[in-house]
Chain A
Amino acid sequence: MAERVFSVLGLFETPDALLAAVPRLKAKALGRLEAYTPYPVHGLEEAMGLRRSPLGGMVMVMGVLGTLTALLFQYWMNAVDYPLVTGGKDPSSWQAFVPIMFEVTVLFATFTAGLGMLLLLNKLPAFWHPFLDSEASKVATRDRFALAVEAEAGLLDAAAVSAALKAAGAASVETIPEPASARLVSINALLGLAAAGAAACVLAGAFMYWGIKLFPTLPPMSHMLAQPRLDAQMPSRFFRDSRGMRTPAEGAVARGGLPYPFDKDDQARGLANPLPRTEEVLRLGKKVFSNNCLICHGPLADGNPILTAAYGGKPANLQSKKFLDYPEGEIYHTIMRGKNAMPRLGDGFTEDERWAVIHYLRALQRAQHAKDSDL
C-alpha cells in the first residue's frame, strides 16, 4: 500500500517568488494551500485568500462585556449591597466606576485577543505538526519560503502537485507523509514542558528564599493598630524597668469614679439611691442583675442559684423578711465590698449600674410581696 501523503511542499528563494506562485497553484485547485515563512510576508494573506480574522469582532464583544461587567459589579457592590460613603460622594457615583470599567475592558479585550488568537484561531497548544519532521522546516524558519499543498480528505495527487510547484518556480519539492497515528503530544515536548515547569519552580523558590532573606521584609501597610501608644502587657523602652504598665501615682483616681471609703456596712447605711425609679433605670438594672447576680441569687432573687451544688456557697435569699426593708446603702456596700462567699463585684460597674440594680432588686421584692393596692 502506498504511503498516504499529508502534503507536498515547495521551497522558494524569495518572498516575491512565493507570492507569484500562490495564484498559480490556487488556480490549479489541487488541495488546500498553506505557507510557512520565517516572518510575515506582506500580501500573502490576500494572495492566499485567507478569510478575514474574526478576532476583531470577538475583541469588541468581550470589550463591551468587560465594560458592563465592571459597571454592574461596582454598582452592585457600592450602591446596592454595601453602600459606603467615601469622600462625601454618593456611593453610586459613576465617575468612580470609570477607571475600573476602563481597566476591565482592556483586560477582557486583551485576554480575548491573546487567548482567542492562540487557542481558538491558531489551534494551540499543538506540540507537533507533520511539517516539523520535514527537511524544509529547517530552512523555512531561516531564509526560505515554503508553500505546501495539503491533502483534502486524505486525497492528494502528489505527482501533479510537485509538477505544479516546480512549474511555479519552486527550487526544491518535498513530500511529507501522513503521520502513522496522530501524534498530538510528543514525548520530547512533554519532557521539555516538565523540565521547564521544574526549572520555573526552582527559580521561583530560590527567588523567594533569597529575596526574603536578603531584603528586609517591610510590613506592606501599617494599620491603625500600629501606634506609639503602649498597650497592656507591652514592654517600654522609656521606663528604666522596661515595663509598659505603670502603677497609678499616689492618690490617682480613675475617670468617672471616686474611691469607695467605707469598710463596715453600717457606715454605708445612710447612702441614698440617687437615681429616679424610671423605666430606663429599671431596664438597666435588669440588665446588670441578669448578667451578674442572677446566676447566684436566682431569677427571683430568692436564693435559688442556677449554679450547681458544687458551688458550695449559700447565696442569701433576698426575698426573706430581713432584706425586704434592708437599707439600700447596705446593699450598695455588699456590691462594693462583697460579703463572705459573695465576691466584690462593684469595680466592674459604673455608679449608675450599681444603683440601678438596687432599684431592680427592690422591684423584684415588690413583685413577690405585692399588696392588694398594687393590683
Chain B
Amino acid sequence: MISLMTVLGGLAAAGTFFAIGPERFWANWLVWSLMLLSVGLGALFLVALEHLCDARWSVPLRRTAERVSGLLVPACAALATALFSLKVLYPWARPEAAHIPAIAGKAAWLNIPFFSVRVLACVALWLLSWRVLAGSSAEQDLSCDAALSVRMRRFAPFFMAVMGLTTLVVSFDWVSSLEPEWYSDVMGVYLFAGSFLAGLAAVALAVCHLKGRGRLAELRFDHVYSLGGWLFAFTVFWSYIAFAQYMLMWYADLPEEVFWYAHRGHGAWRWVSLALAVTHFVIPFFALVPRDAKGDLDRLRWVAVLVLGAHFLDLYWLVFPVLGERPLFSWPELGFAAFFIGAALLWVRRSMKQGADMPVGDPFLEEGLAFKL
C-alpha cells in the first residue's frame, strides 16, 4: 500500500517537472526536504536533550526517537539535491542579482560556492551527530557498555551547538534567502521551534502506533504524558516566536521587512496564514491543555498528525509565496506529499524492524521504566 502510494507520488512529482516546470517542482522538493530534515533533527534533539540533562523518563522512548531521527539520512540527500534548485528559486543566484543593491550587498554570503559549502558542512555535521547518538545507542544494545552512555553524554552539548548553528544557517540560506531583500533575526529560532515540535509529533505518533501494535508495552501513562507535555509546551513556544516575529515587523512597518508579511496577509494567502494559526496553535493548544489529554494515546495520535500537517503548512507558507500571488495546491503537491510521506514511512518502518524497541543496553533503562510523574 505504502509502496504503491510512494511510486504513484514519485511519478506525479517527476511529472511536475516536465508538465508544469522546474519552479513548482523545486518549491515542492524544498518544502519536503525541509520537512524530512526538521522531523529528523527534532527527533535527534530530543535524544540529545536526554543525554544533556541526564534525563531518565525518556530512556524507554529514546529508541523510537532515534529511529525517527534516521530520517536525517534521506533528508540530507534531498537537501543536497536541492542545490540544483538554486538558480530556479533563489533570486540571488541569478545574474540579475548583481544589479539589485539590496541583494548585491549580500553577495559575500549568498553565492553558490559558499552556499554549497555550508550545505555540505551542515550535512556532514548532521550525519556525524546521528551516527554518534543513534549509532552508539544501537551498539550499546549488544555490548551493554556503559562507556557508550558516557560518549553520548559527552557528545550531547556539542550537538546542541550543531543544532543551533545549523538551523540558523538553514533558516537564512534555504528559507529567508528565497526573498533575499528580507531578513529576520528570529527565523532560526522559529525554524528550530517548528523542527523540535515536528520531531516530537513524529515521535509521539510512532509511540502511539507502536503501542497500538502491542509494542512498547512497558511504557506507561507517565511516559506518554511527559511526551505530550513536551508537545504542548512547544506548541506554545512556536506560537510565541511566530507571533513575536510578526508583531515586531507589523509594528515597525519598515518596507524592507513588512512586505514579506504583506504578501502573506493578502488575498488567498491571508487564509493560509489564518489556517496556520489555527492548526499550529489554537487546535493543538486546546486539545492538549487538559491534564489527561497529554497522556491519552488516541488524542495524542490525532494531535500529532495535525501538528505534522501544520508543520508542512508552515513550510509551504514559508516557501510557496515566491511562486506568486496565489497559493498553488493541486496534483503536484499531492503527488509530492504521497511520495515523501510514503518514502519516510518506508524508511522509518525499515528501522522499526531492526533491533530492540527500547535501548536495552542502557544502564538507566530500568530507572526510566520506573519513572513516575
Contact surface of A with B, Cβ cutoff 8 Å: 42-43, 56, 60, 87-89, 95-96, 98-99
Contact = CB atoms under 8 A, between A and B. Distances in A.
Contacts, number: 19
Nearest to A55: B291
B250 A95 contact: yes
Give the interface SS of chain B, mostly helix, strand, loop or mixed: loop
Nearest to B373: A42
Interface of B: 243, 246-247, 250-251, 253, 289-291, 372-373
A42 B251 contact: no
Contact of A43 (B247, B251, B372): B372
A324 to B, nearest CB: 66
11 contacts: A42-B373, A43-B372, A56-B290, A56-B291, A88-B253, A89-B251, A95-B250, A95-B251, A96-B247, A96-B251, A99-B247
Given A43-B372, A98-B243, A87 B253 contact: yes
B294 to A, nearest CB: 11
Nearest to B236: A102
Contacts of B251: 87, 89, 95-96
A95 B253 contact: no
A42 B57 CA distance: 14
Contacts of B290: 56
Contacts of B373: 42
Given A42-B372, A87-B251, A88-B253, A95 B289 contact: no
A42 B370 CA distance: 11
Contacts of B372: 42-43
Contact of A60 (B247, B250, B253, B289): B289
Given A60-B289, A87-B253, A96-B247, 16 more contacts: A42-B372, A42-B373, A43-B372, A56-B290, A56-B291, A87-B251, A88-B253, A89-B251, A95-B246, A95-B247, A95-B250, A95-B251, A96-B251, A98-B243, A98-B247, A99-B247
B140 to A, nearest CB: 28
Contacts of B247: 95-96, 98-99
Contacts of B253: 87-88
B292 to A, nearest CB: 9
Nearest to B291: A56
Contacts of A96: 247, 251
Contacts of A60: 289
A176 B175 CA distance: 70
A88 B289 CA distance: 37
A33 to B, nearest CB: 20
A60 to B, nearest CB: 7
A99 B244 CA distance: 9
B299 to A, nearest CB: 16
B231 to A, nearest CB: 17
Nearest to A60: B289
